[in-house]
Amino acid sequence: MLAGLRCVHREFLGINRRNHDYLFRWNRRDRWALVDDKRETKRVLAQSGLPTPALLAVCEAPWEIAGLRPTLEAAGAFALKPARGAGGSGIVVVVERRGERFVTASGRTLGWRDLTAHAADVLAGVHSMGGRDDALLVEARVAAAPALAAFGWGGVPDLRVVVLRGVPVLAMLRLPTRRSAGRANLHLGGIGVGVALDSGTTTYAVAGRRPVTAHPDTGAALAGVALPAWEETLRLAVRAADAVGLGFLGVDVVVDGRHGPLVLELNARPGLAVQLANRRGLRPLLERVGRAAIPADVEARVALGRSLR
């Protein structure tokens, strides 16, 4: 037990060390705004030719809300997101339209009045960081690749890749559950599944701090699954980090069944649960990359990340 505690103290990264040794050292403050605003993130990524879910509409003022109705009714399936939201707050994913009602990923049905009220809350900053006035983004709904569809309940699994100096160092698959209402965020009740960088195969899984071996809603076994488009996902994460100019960040990628890997969003303050999901601390990995000579080539940096032990 003491040996285990010493290992945790020596290898696992805590919030304070994350902030002082990595966020403040490697992330220029003026670049944070690019990832704190999903609209800006999309713009910068598009300039670098990187794929993201299609943006169908943007609503910036209360009097524009009514004008969204034709777009939402025509789309049938879509995601509503606060531009400055964090942690999955304020995201509503609609999977189909039934007459005058919209069915969410968690099975709830919403009328136009419900969507109007939600849009008004988003614009008022209810879901934004710091409670600032916000904008509402309407994105095309992402459909999970068939190999991943069975691992999420009511939503789409995504991949969180932690990147330092343009090198991927640790990754996990995030799975939506009934408890998380179909969202993949771990703090809302999603499942975190560690992924071996070298092979793209799942290893361990956690629900909160509790180890699990199967999805609580679908019963799917969580270890030993080879993820699709793994090389492409890592390359996309590295290129996204390059595009926004941040040295330390979390890149969230979803593997869409039609379009392949897409950058879902970026996080300049990545959480640390990825360590629990992998049963592996970030500190030794980050220290190695911090000291290493980093190649300019994307493929070489992906290879460096996959070789870390």
Domain identity same for 39 and 94: no
Domain identity same for 271 and 162: yes
Model confidence at 6: pLDDT above 50? no
Domain identity same for 283 and 183: yes
Q: In Å, what is the CA distance from 124 to each residue of 118, 120, 130? A: 10, 6, 11
Domain identity same for 46 and 68: no
Which of 118, 140, 162 terminates a domain? The answer is 140
Answer whether residue 4 is part of any domain. Answer: no
Q: Which residue range forms the structural domain that includes residue 85?
A: 55-140
Domain identity same for 179 and 253: yes
Answer whether residue 8 is part of any domain. Answer: no
Residue 123 structure tokens: 């614009």
Domain identity same for 124 and 48: no
CATH number at residue 250: 3.30.470.20
Domain identity same for 201 and 88: no
pLDDT digits (tens, 9 = 90+) for 92-134: 999 999 999 999 988 899 999 999 999 999 999 999 877 788 9
Domain identity same for 43 and 85: no
Buried b (16+ CB within 10 A) or exposed e, 155-170: bbbbbbbbbbbbbbbb
Domain identity same for 190 and 275: yes
Answer whether residue 3 is part of any domain. Answer: no
pLDDT digits (tens, 9 = 90+) for 239-296: 999 999 999 999 999 999 999 999 999 999 999 999 999 999 999 999 999 999 999 9
Domain identity same for 92 and 154: no
Instruction: State if pTM tops 0.85.
Output: yes
Domain identity same for 126 and 233: no
Model confidence at 31: pLDDT above 70? yes
Which of 121, 140, 159 terminates a domain? The answer is 140
Are 88 and 80 spatial neighbours (Cβ–Cβ below 8 Å)? no
User: Beta-carbon neighbour count of residue 30 at 10 Å?
Assistant: 8
The domain tally of the chain equals 2
